[in-house]
Structure 1
Amino acid sequence: MNRIMKLFTGVCLMVMTVSATLAQPQPLRVLMVGGGGSHDFGRWYGQEDKKTIESTGKYSVTYTEQTDSIPAYLKQADLLILTNNQPISAAGQAAITKFVEKGHGLLLLHAAVWYNWADWPAYNLNYVGGGSKSHEKLQEIKNLVVNPAHPITQGVPAKFEFVDELYRHVPDPAAKGIEVLVIGQSKETDAVYPGVFTVKHRKAKIVGITTGHDERSHQHEAYKTLLINALNWIAN
C-alpha cells in the first residue's frame, strides 16, 4: 500500500509540475536587426539592449546583422526592432512591410530613424513619420518628458541628461503624424527635437527613440526604462 501511495504521490507531483510549466506564458519573440556604419551595433544593441530587454523575462531576443535573413526570421517573430543603417534588400523591405501591415509592433532605435534607404521612401513616410538627415555634435543632451501620462514615460524622470548624438529629427507633413513623448535639447544651441515618439499607423504600434550612440545612453537607467516601456507598449 505504501508503495502505491508513493507512486500516486509521484504522479500527482509530476502532473502539477507539467501544469505549472504549461501555465507560464512563453516569452514574446523579438527580432532585432542591427549593423552598418558609425556605431558599435553588436556591443550596444546586440549585447547591452538585448540583456536589458531579456532581464524582464517577457521577451526572447534574436539579434542579427545579416539583413538577407530578415524574411526568414520574421516568420518566427512577434515584434521587430530595427536599429541598422545598412542596406536592406527588396525582399527584406517587403517582409518588414508585410509584418508591420499585419499589425505587429515595431520599435525603431537611433540609426533606424535616419533617412537610410533612398530606394524605400515608404519606410520613412509610413513607419518613421519623417526622419533625420543630420545631428548635432556629440554632447550632453537635456532630455525632457513632455507627455508624462503615456505608458512609455512611466518611471522616467521628468528631466535626465546623458552624452549622445542629438538627431535633428523632422516630421514629414505628408505622413500620418507622430506624438512626441520626450524632447531632446542641445546645450550648445538650445535647439529642440523629438527624442521619443510614437508614429500613427492604422494597425501597428510604432515607437521611435532617437538616442543610443554608445554606453552613455545604453547604460543609463532612463534609457533602459524607455526601452522596456516602449517594447511593452508595442507588444499590447
Structure 2
Amino acid sequence: MGIINYQPELSALVATKGHPYPKDAFSECLDSLAGITCTVVEQPASQKFLDPALAAPYDVLVFYDMPGIDFSEQPPTATRPPKRLQENMSRLLEAGKGMVFLHHALAAWPMWPEFGEIIGGRFFYSPQDCRGRPVLDSGYRHEVTHDISLASPDHPVTQGLPENFQLTDELYLCEIFDDSVHPLLTSNYSFIRENFYSAHHAVTGKMYCNEGWYPTEGSSLVGWTRHHKNSRIVYLQPGDGAETLGDVHYRLLLANAIRWAANNA
C-alpha cells in the first residue's frame, strides 16, 4: 500500500471591507481552495478577532481589507489603530500566528508605522513619512496585463506554478521594503511615474491623473514572504479584479500562501 500524503483541513479567518472588491468572484475564489475553510468577517468586526483568544480556532489570518482610512470624508482622513488592537497584533505575532495580506491590505493603517514593517511595504493615499524619510503618495494603474516571473521557484508558496504566467490586474507604484522581504514574484511592467496615476489625486476628485506628481522608480516585486517576530507573513499584490480571482494560477498561489503561513506547507 502506498503512503498517503494527508494534509489536514485548514481554517482561515478572512477580513474584508474598506475597499471595493468583486464579492462574488472573491467568494468563489475562497470556495475553490481545496482543504481550506474560509470564514469571512467584515471590518470593523474582524478587528475583534485579533484578540488571541478569538483568533485561536483559526490556523491563519487573511487580510483583504483596508482599515485606518475614512473615505466618508474628502479628502480621506487617516486614523490610528486602538492601542488594544496593536497589543493584540503583537501577541499574535509573538505566538506565531500566520498572516496573508492581499492587494489593497498594503494601504491599511497608514498612521501605524509598525504595520508596514509587519507586511513589508506601504501604499499611501497622501504624502507621508516612511522609515524616517518623506515620501509621496503611491501610484495605481488598473487592468494592467503583465507577465509574472517566479523569483523563488523552489519556495513552497510558488510550488506548482509555471516560471512565467500572465495576469490582468491592478498594479501599485509604492513603498516596498526590498531589504526586509524574501522575493516570490516579479512583474515585467515598468514601475515608473509615466505608467501610474497619483492615489492622492484619485481621492481628491482627479482620477487617472499624475500631474505634478513625481515619485521615484518603484520595485518590480509583486509578491514576497517574510518573518515578523515568530509569524510567517505573505503579501500578494495581485487580487483586485474578478479575472485574477478566477485565474487558476492565482488560486494555487493563494492556497500555497495560506498553507505556508499556517506552517502547514
Q: TM-score, normalised by structure 1?
A: 0.76
CA contact (8 A) 1:141 1:166 kept: no
Deviation at 1:43, TM superposition (A): 2.7
Deviation at 1:106, TM superposition (A): 0.5
- How do 1:179-194 residues align onto structure 2 when only pairs under 5 Å count? 179-186=182-189, 193-194=220-221
CA contact (8 A) 1:30 1:80 kept: yes
Q: Counterpart in 1 of 2:164? A: 159
- Cα 1:69/1:178, change in 2 over 3 Å: closer
Q: CA deviation digits over 1:55-75, x for unaligned, max 9?
A: x22x22110113234334424
Which residue, out of 41, 44, 68, partners 1:67? 44
CA RMSD of aligned residues (A): 2.6
Secondary structure in structure 1 of the residue aligned to 2:231 = coil
Q: Distance in 2 between matches of 1:106 and 1:193?
A: 22
Q: Counterpart in 1 of 2:57? A: 76
Q: 5+ residue gaps in structure 2?
A: 1-5, 69-79, 124-137, 196-216
> Quick check: which one's helix share is greater?
1
Q: 5+ residue gaps in structure 1?
A: 1-23
Which residue, out of 168, 177, 180, partners 2:180? 177
Q: Distance in 2 between matches of 1:164 and 1:25?
A: 31
Q: How many residues are paired up?
A: 204
Q: Counterpart in 1 of 2:120? A: 129
Q: Distance in 1 between matches of 2:261 and 2:167?
A: 25
Secondary structure in structure 2 of the residue aligned to 1:136 = strand
The one-letter code of the counterpart of 1:107 is: V
Determine which structure has greater relative contact order: mean sequence separation of CA pairs < 8 Å that are 6+ residues apart, divided by chain length: 2
Q: Distance in 1 between matches of 2:112 and 2:218?
A: 29
Deviation at 1:191, TM superposition (A): 7.2
Larger radius of gyration: 1
Secondary structure in structure 2 of the residue aligned to 1:163 = strand
Q: Counterpart in 2 of 1:34? A: 16
Q: Counterpart in 2 of 1:19? A: none
CA contact (8 A) 2:148 2:188 kept: yes
The one-letter code of the counterpart of 1:83 is: Y
Q: Counterpart in 2 of 1:113? A: 106
CA contact (8 A) 1:34 1:83 kept: yes
% identity of equivalent residues: 25
The one-letter code of the counterpart of 1:218 is: L
Q: TM-score, normalised by structure 2?
A: 0.68
